[in-house]
């Protein structure tokens, strides 16, 4: 199976690029299942039902979120209505939505996607490990699920690496999101789990992690926030990664960075 994970969509320019390019990427790269982190898709803060539907129509199979999941308050009920839209599994259990889903991919393959929220340098949240084990209970890679993907939406790289090594051999992919900068550490861990500390963002990189530059720079220089953060509006780079898995075991056989368009150098996985 060939899986793709696209990093945090940042505002209109990011979601426009994804909606326009994803159908061709699915076809040209032979993608069987696509996960997108959409927590910044609505003006940089949260996601709306309409935006989620547009991403699904373009070819997303699952949308993960993170700390900005509920920023668009009028659309919070959509988390209960749409099973393909996830919020972190270690949010309080009473929160709308779900933290994991078992989905059907191409050729009836089963893909389990789990979303986690980091604990270091972020808002206080429930422990990741009990939430993770709860979602994995009764599901073994290669048996009940043909692939398992875990999105760790976290600030600390060390935390993402710890989750990756903790799950090595039990899941197909552990991928970090949230920091909006693609890391150069795509690898298959010793027991067969693909890992990358952060997939980057789908947005304009002539920016400060996706935001128009003037307000962050003014905050740096004058220590005063001079206005509202706004997503940068230049051409977006679609950033993410592609993973191939063994059809028998569900473990990764390869992982490659994906970068298309915008300012960053292009990176594509092998085809054929």
Phi, psi of 80 (to 5 degrees): -80, -25
Mean pLDDT of 198-226: 91
Return the closest-CA partner of residue 116 out of 176, 165, 191, 172.
176
Cα distance between residue 258 and residue 235, in whole Å: 16
CA dist 147 and 173 (Å) reads 8
Provide the annotated active-site residues: 68
- What pLDDT was estimated at residue 228? 85
User: Which of 39-43, 192-196, 228-232, 259-263 bottoms out in mean pLDDT, i.e. has the lowest?
Assistant: 228-232
The pLDDT value given to residue 226: 77
Residue 123 has what pLDDT?
87
Interatomic CA distance for residues 3 and 105, integer angstroms: 10
**pLDDT at residue 233, as a whole number:** 92
pLDDT at 124 over 90: no
All structural domains of the chain, each given as residue ranges with its CATH number in brackets, are 2-260 (3.60.21.10)
* Spatial distance between the Cα atoms of 7 and 9, rounded to a whole number of angstroms: 6
Q: Would the pLDDT of 225 be above 90?
A: no
User: What is the average pLDDT across 91-108?
Assistant: 95
* Bridge partners for 254 per DSSP: 244
| Predicted pLDDT at 106 | 86
Q: Can you give the pLDDT at residue 70?
A: 96
């Amino acid at each position: 199976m060939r899986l793709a994970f696209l990093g945090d969509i940042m505002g209109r320019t990011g979601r426009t690029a994804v909606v326009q390019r994803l159908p061709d990427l699915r076809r040209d790269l032979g993608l069987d299942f696509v996960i997108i982190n959409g927590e910044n898709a609505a003006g940089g803060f949260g996601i709306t039902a309409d935006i989620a539907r547009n991403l699904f129509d373009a070819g997303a199979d699952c949308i993960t979120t993170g700390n900005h999941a509920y920023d668009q308050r009028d659309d919070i009920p959509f988390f209960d209505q749409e099973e393909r839209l996830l919020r972190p599994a270690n949010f309080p259990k009473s929160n709308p939505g779900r933290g994991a889903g078992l989905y059907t991919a191409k050729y009836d393959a089963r893909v389990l996607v789990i979303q986690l929220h980091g604990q270091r340098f972020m808002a206080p949240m429930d422990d990741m490990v009990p939430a993770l084990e709860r979602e994995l209970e009764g599901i073994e890679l290669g048996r009940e699920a043909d692939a398992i993907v875990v999105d760790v939406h976290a600030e600390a790289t060390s935390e993402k690496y710890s989750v990756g090594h903790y799950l090595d051999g039990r899941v197909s992919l552990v991928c970090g999101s949230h920091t909006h900068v693609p890391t150069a550490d795509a690898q298959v861990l010793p027991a067969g789990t693909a890992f990358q500390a952060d997939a980057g963002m789908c947005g304009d990189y002539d920016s400060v992690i996706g935001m128009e530059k003037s307000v962050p720079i003014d905050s740096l220089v004058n220590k005063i926030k001079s206005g509202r953060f706004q997503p940068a509006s230049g051409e977006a780079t679609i950033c993410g990664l592609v993973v191939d898995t063994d059809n028998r075991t569900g473990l990764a056989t390869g992982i490659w960075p994906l970068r298309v368009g915008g300012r960053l150098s292009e990176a594509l996985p092998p085809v054929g």
